[in-house]
Structure 1
Amino acid sequence: MSSTTYIVGAGGQLGKALRASDKAPARLHGLTSADIDIVDATSVADALAGLGPGDVVLNCAAYTDVDGAQTDSGRAFAVNRDGPGHLARMSATTGARLIHVSTDYVFAGAAATDEGPRRSTPYEPGDVTGEPETVYGASKLAGERAVFEIDPRATVVRTAWVYTGGPASTDFVGTMRRLEAVRRDVTVVDDQTGSPTYAPDLADGLWELVAADPDGSTAGAVLHATNAGSVSWYQVARAVFEEVGADPERVRPCSTDEFPRPAPRPAYSVLSGASWASAGLTPLRDWRAALHAAVAGRRAGRG
């Protein structure tokens, strides 16, 4: 019998992109929050009752409200640590394969408001994470550790700054598109650097990982997958304006100190794609080409 891939978090941004991808496998079972509560071990066992050897669990469910997690740490850890642990227990027990999606925020880094030298070298999977400065990052790091403690064969894929970019989307790119239409000027922080990642590109990359590694040769590995390149939020905003035919000079830079948030943001959280390429996987295209496709309404591509 052919294997089945279960998408946990199928109703979220990445989950929807995974289901919409033309690279998705034929036997696919999407599980939304209405189908599975990953915080509840019984719910997980019931939803994955048919799981067996050769099947894949692709977990993209997470508590992603970075600011909200600062005051809702219990829920953040329940979803981001305990939930993946329940999934890992199922994969370890049944012999299925677990691919768990994580984040650049697991690295402590330096907050954009910190003084002193700033990192300028992309993070590799083997770099020391340190103690993340946000509850969100700490809970995601705890989730990685729980997964590997329970199922050492699992694979963790870290990504960053994920967006879909549609005019109605609530992510950064979608927000900039809406603000361009209603504001004369927009002010955006220019001292936080990362790698914007187009959700359909990431989805296609994850499906390549599923298809290229049926025997688990990346078992126990941490991989980094983002669109190539690094940029500040201010530069992303200018690029969005350019893509919709607006004057990028309408975007004004500011410092993080001028735009405080409940949770500190890292000054630099760029992830190296070397581990992804070393695993024999196709590197995700440059962030600017991906943004162009997102604003144009096109799906993923490698060119």
Structure 2
Amino acid sequence: MSKIGFIGLGIMGRPMAGHLLDAGHELTTVKRGALDATLASKGVRELENPKAVAEASDIVITIVPDTPDVEEVLFGEGGVVEGLKPGTLVIDMSSIAPIATQKFAERIHAAGGEYVDAPVSGGEGGAINAALTIMVGATPEGFERAKPVLEVMGKTITHIGGHGAGQTCKVANQIVVALTIEAVAEGLLFASKAGADVAKVRESLLGGLAQSKILDVHGERMIKRTFDPGFRIRLHQKDLNLALEGARSLNLALPGTANAQQLFQACAAQGGGDWDHAGILRALESLASHEVGQK
């Protein structure tokens, strides 16, 4: 079993860390307020800073909100790189910029470590059920070292390519997810405004070509109006910003992505940055002056 440093015990990180503990790994983390009681009971040790976590670990896993957060954890004062031992495996499971990821990999390798970018998809449910899809950018050797640990947390682990390729795949994933959530919201809004029973519409659509996990999970959220976050709108906004910035650098038009980003922005303007991303429905409802399920 490995000594693992796990930095980022949020909605996704908590259950992911729990699975590693259940598999027998020894975990340390950075002290940030009150430690989750379940993780504490399983023996997670809290240390002063990322440097101390790295010194105590053979593998360091990070899953934090954005590119600057990863940079701070890895290279800021008291960062991981200061405590890195030769051969330490650093696995970043955050969703961040692919080009920055390549630069981070170069710096970790120069310090004697091995870097893997391994962003995830599957939301809170996937994290809880150890059923995440994990998209990996790494050297072949790095992937083989990381794979046994990733298999504890995920169900589908794919080596996409070299450093940054995992993050590129995650950006593509977030484009597809955003546009599909928008499509589900528009379909249910149309059905509701036309007077149909949206629950029965969703049930029917789940049996046809429109079937998707998003129609299943997020469609139900929309109908039940349960917008507590599994994945926050503000984080999806960040991911779509990465997509649009990348598109500009590639001289590429992504009109659907831009439209979804504007709808997320409309939600944020209503104080909904921390709504689940299924809350994109609320922006569309505002435009229609109609709430799904109204008669």
Please state which band the TM-score falls in when normalised by the shorter chain. Answer: 0.3 to 0.5
Larger radius of gyration: 2
Structure (1 or 2) with the greater helix fraction? 2
Task: Say which structure, 1 or 2, has more relative contact order (CA 8 Å, 6+ apart).
Answer: 1
Give me the TM-score of the superposition, normalised by structure 2. Answer: 0.40
